[in-house]
Structure 1
Amino acid sequence: MDNTSQESQLQSENSSTYESTYPLYAMAISSSSTSSNLQRIAVGSFIEEYTNRVDILSFNAETLTLRPNPSLSFDHPYPPTKLMFHPSTPSSLLRHSAVDLLATSGDYLRLWEVRESSVEALSLFNNSKTSEFCAPLTSFDWNDIDPKRIGTSSIDTTCTIWDIEKGVVETQLIAHDKEVYDIAWGEARVFSSVSADGSVRIFDLRDKEHSTIIYESPQPDTPLLRLAWNKQDLRYMATILMDSNKVVILDIRSPTMPVAELERHRGSVSAIAWAPQSSRHICSAGDDAQALIWELPTVAGPNGIDPMSVYSAGCEINQLQWSATQPDWIAIAFANKMQLLRV
């Protein structure tokens, strides 16, 4: 790595750490602030048992304090595969404006009302007509343009679009030939998904019979694990391959050929997140215990792209989130810790 990248050491003025009693995986940062101007962060346990936990933390960026709120911790069936707060202001589902809406996925999609001192289970969404069981959900995405829509991805090869206000399925699509591992909204009616079949596909709810394959793994059937759509420039998205150190950057105007491949990780990449207020910055994290922030050049040089900054964690990083309301902060999860980094 050349000298243009800067390695950040853990310094108290640039980070804040929460240590849990169990391994952490799923993580979400609220887009609203509580009355005391604190940022809510949800973290989910990863325990190989039925009963898992979701903890709600409060982060104060001025004092750099990160505190759990025991009255807001709740049991969750199975480890949550994803957590996500309502992407904008409180919706008509909420009775009070000082309340957050939290969605979780695992065996089902669930909605929770996070109040000042309690959490209430609001809804459970089950699309199985023939059985009390359903195929596990690998991920979901909340439509930030039309927040009554949530799309889920499942190991049963389908993507399901829910109208969470009516509590009904808007549509269910057989999206791929194998398990669907992630889903991301681009526009109000357009979403994309990645799968164990190695493809990135784009769907438009106005034409449910067709999808567009914009990328396929170079090695057939190498699963694509995660997908991130650039909300500042919808022409671009990023994906990662199983057991690969690469982040693949795609331009949907020129399918099949990546516009860039970021290859400076020394282990498999496990998480990606675009900067919420910049179309050219993306963060990636992986098994090499590093979180890398990249600035995408207009034209990639012959020797590839180096990250603009590097953060080293204590062990393999399995999750990251970039705060939309406080874009100076990135959250990473590794082992039993959740750490907020000032970038």
Structure 2
Amino acid sequence: MSDALVQARGLRKAFGDVEAVRGIDVDVARGEVFGFLGPNGAGKSSTMRMIACVSPRTGGTLQVLGMDPGPDGPAIRARIGVVPQLDNLDVELTVRQNLQIYGRYFGLSRAHVRAKATELLEFAKLTDRADAAVEPLSGGMKRRLTIARALVNDPELLLLDEPTTGLDPQARHLLWERLYRLKREGVTQIITTHYMDEAEQLCDRLVVMDDGRIVAEGSPVELIERHATREVLELRFEPELRPTAAALAPLAERVEELPDRLLLYTADGEHAQAEVVRAGHRPLSALVRRASLEDVFLRLTGRSLVE
């Protein structure tokens, strides 16, 4: 990609004998939201730390903003924003002071950081908490403040590592709205997540990582079309009446067996449901839905949603 803000070829990261990232190729275009999707331990955070210039690569090449993170780390860090997996706010300062003091680290003037703090407080919906202490804030408020702080230097690239882990649904959706607003403003974002709905909502393109490797790449729609069927029939049975996946295999393109239910991947879920009943099986419940990224995840990694 000629307009790539991040470009990696054969990127590797090892910790002693443990290889966390095993030779991946990545391109992130200017203005897009790019996602790393995968279970815990897949290598997402290790990749993000290399892009953020805080962890040296073991092998391969990496360019961030057209520079090499090795010799050019300080120059890159001055032009990016980082939202770590765990909030690292200064709890001894107020909400506003967290923004202002962080802005001074970039050499910005006091007048500029004061104005920028006011702007970011409004963006994060924290204006009414500007002079409050950080410690009593809710998890969602702290997460919004951490994201606001990462924007104090007007970064060209924003890195977000598991931005909504541990938040309730209301807080997650508010953060999604804030990130979508940044996308409209042209801020390039790289997000790591193991939440399928988050990746589907936010990402223009993404890669699915497993065991340090990229196992699929594309837009959410492309990945669903490539690795799943149009519909999925979810069936739950009484334990003693539950058929095997092999028994239902002739009724669908693919059958996935989970601890609590069977998933039948098919072009027509209602037709498959009728065939299941016609074959003499009596499910406790049946749900026909469109295929999602979670189905892609299960197909590619063979794991549950979160481990």
Higher RCO (C-alpha under 8 Å, 6+ residues apart): 2
Structure ranking higher in strand proportion: 1
Please tell me whether Structure 1 or Structure 2 has the larger radius of gyration of its CA atoms: 2
Structure ranking higher in helix proportion: 2
- Normalized against structure 2, the TM-score is what? 0.31
